[in-house]
Amino acid sequence: MTASDERNPLHENAPDPQHAGTDRPAWPDLGQHDDAARAAVAGIAALLGRPIPEKTTEPRTASEWLARTWDVHEASLETVSRPVSPVLHLLYGFVLGRWIAEHADDVTQRGPDRRAPQMSRLDLGAGIGVTVPTAATVLFPAGTRDEQPVAIETGYHFGDPYLTAHALPGHREVAERALDALSDDLAADHPYRGRTLQANGSGRLTITPVTPTPQERADLVLPDDVWHEIGLFCAGVTTRRDTLRALGHSTSRGLLLAGPPGVGKTKLARVLATELAGTVTVVLVTADVLRTWMTELYEEVRTLGPCLVVLEEIDSVGGKESRGSTSFGEFLDALDGARATDDVLTVATTNDPGALDPAVKRPGRFDTVLEVPPPDAAGREAILRLYLPPGTGIDAGLIASFLDGATGADLREVARRALLEHGIDGLTTDRVLDIATSGRWKPAAVVGNYL
């Protein structure tokens, strides 16, 4: 039978096995109106005194199916439901997929609305992905997941993902246990653990693994005391973790990097991310997540074990003028929540720590506000050496002495401009000095009317 036949109400289908051998007419296929039409016809037949035996239809919902399979009343099933975020929905699907594989010979599965189970792709980074069940009910018979039978249902309710466990009447604890076991299994062997993740928040919160370019300390020239603070910040989840824990201290820390544009705050956060990747899970957070999804973000983060959360430019949410808005309060609550969990390092960047509301800087939210200053003369010389090709004999110290107040980003521009104008072979101290003092490396002011 073709799809168009299926929708044709006049189509005479194959004899209904239920009524085979009787002289009753076969049911016409009424497509989606089938159930209602059957009920109406059955009603009329009953009125006429010739009741039609009810046709057993395929159960539509998970509980209908389970009630029939377990031979109990649908209403007496024990059902425990938990809403989950879209990200956790996929991750629980990952664990459920593993459970299915473990008991492959024993489980029975169904999709929603009599369809096949539905799968979605969970991105594991580096081009690797796995398909996991996202709309399905999986029945684990007695003696597989539990002594009692238990079914896990995953799906969407009006677009919102949920997770439900069903158990036999009087065995609510079996359903609770199954959902707890899913969480525990995810926490014990999280597919994202130790990876670098990008959190995006346009429309909804998504967290996907990324492969960042490694950034090293050698690429960044900063004063020793800055590096010292960075070392202390990491120690909470590395060398000093056990000591802190043994004495009942929190291993979570918050570090706020403050400084003018271009001094290397973002690069420093990336160096931290590179150094800690593998030891902890790194979560890079965009501004739209900051504004809308902070609570959800830290909920996800809790399942990831030790992690580093990088919040860029918190000025967009933490400024005094945003006080009173919901997202500001949520942002603070989320920071507090992060402190309640162990092993969460938060590093944030801001251009203007003075403008940040004092509530953001309260100890316990950010333990350290670290000023990242523009480089001094020696720093400028070292940064110029970093960006000018080696072996050209250029007097970087002399050039640096003319660039008081320049940031790392400025110095990189001077070097880039010099290379553009003269190439490697044409570079001389005088020529680079000329570029540095002329200001040609600065972005040109926009002139003219573009309208």
Ligand X SMILES: Nc1ncnc2c1ncn2[C@@H]1O[C@H](COP(=O)(O)OP(=O)(O)OP(=O)(O)O)[C@@H](O)[C@H]1O
Question: Judged by CB under 5 A, which of 266, 279, 401, 429 binds Mg ion?
Answer: 266
- Scan residues 211-240 and list those touching ligand X (CB under 6 A): 220-222
Between the alpha carbon of residue 89 and those of residues 63, 129, 136, 218, 237, the distances in Å are: 20, 15, 12, 41, 28
By CB under 6 A, is residue 316 in contact with ligand X?
A: no
Residue 383 touches which of ligand X, Mg ion, none (CB < 5 to 8 A by kind)? ligand X
* Shortest Å distance, C-beta 325 to ligand X: 23
Q: Is 270 exposed, middle or buried (0-12, 13-18, 19+ CB in 10 A)?
A: buried
What's at 83, amino acid-wise? Answer: P
By CB under 6 A, is residue 286 in contact with ligand X?
A: no
Question: Judged by CB under 6 A, which of 266, 341, 368, 428 binds ligand X?
Answer: 266
Residue nearest to ligand X (CB): 408
**With respect to ligand X, which residue has the nearer C-beta, 227 or 402?**
227
Q: How many helices (H) and strands (E) does the chain have?
A: 17, 13
By CB under 6 A, is residue 409 in contact with ligand X?
A: yes
Question: Judged by CB under 6 A, which of 86, 133, 155, 262 binds ligand X?
Answer: 262
Yes or no: say if 389 and 425 are a contact pair by the CB < 8 Å rule.
Answer: no
CB environment 146-173: b (16+ within 10 A), e (fewer): bebbbbbbbbeeeeebebbbbbbeebee
* Shortest Å distance, C-beta 359 to ligand X: 22
Question: Judged by CB under 6 A, which of 24, 103, 267, 339 binds ligand X?
Answer: 267
**With respect to ligand X, which residue has the nearer C-beta, 295 or 351?**
351
Part of the chain binding Mg ion (CB under 5 A), chosen from 188-196, 262-270, 334-342, 389-397: 262-270
What's at 418, amino acid-wise? Answer: A
* Shortest Å distance, C-beta 262 to Mg ion: 8
**With respect to Mg ion, which residue has the nearer C-beta, 38 or 291?**
291
By CB under 5 A, is residue 351 in contact with Mg ion?
A: no
Question: Judged by CB under 6 A, which of 84, 155, 412, 441 binds ligand X?
Answer: 412
> How far is it, in rounded angstroms, from Cα 58 to Cα 55?
10
Within 13 A of 58's CA, how many CA atoms are on the CB side? Answer: 9
* Shortest Å distance, C-beta 272 to ligand X: 12
Part of the chain binding Mg ion (CB under 5 A), chosen from 101-109, 151-159, 266-274, 385-393: 266-274
> How far is it, in rounded angstroms, from Cα 97 to Cα 83?
19
> How far is it, in rounded angstroms, from Cα 148 to Cα 142?
4
**With respect to ligand X, which residue has the nearer C-beta, 172 or 267?**
267
> How far is it, in rounded angstroms, from Cα 325 to Cα 272?
31
By CB under 6 A, is residue 310 in contact with ligand X?
A: no
Q: Is 121 exposed, middle or buried (0-12, 13-18, 19+ CB in 10 A)?
A: exposed
Order of strands, sheet of 344-350, starting from the edge strand that comes earlier in the sequence: 206-209, 196-200, 281-285, 307-311, 344-350, 253-258, 368-371
**With respect to ligand X, which residue has the nearer C-beta, 84 or 418?**
418
Part of the chain binding ligand X (CB under 6 A), chosen from 31-39, 256-264, 294-302, 430-438: 256-264
Task: Look up tokens 């959360």; give the residue.
Answer: 309
By CB under 6 A, is residue 119 in contact with ligand X?
A: no
Question: Judged by CB under 6 A, which of 89, 110, 195, 265 binds ligand X?
Answer: 265
Binding site for Mg ion (CB under 5 A): 265-266
Binding site for ligand X (CB under 6 A): 220-222, 259, 261-267, 349, 351, 375, 383, 386, 407-409, 412
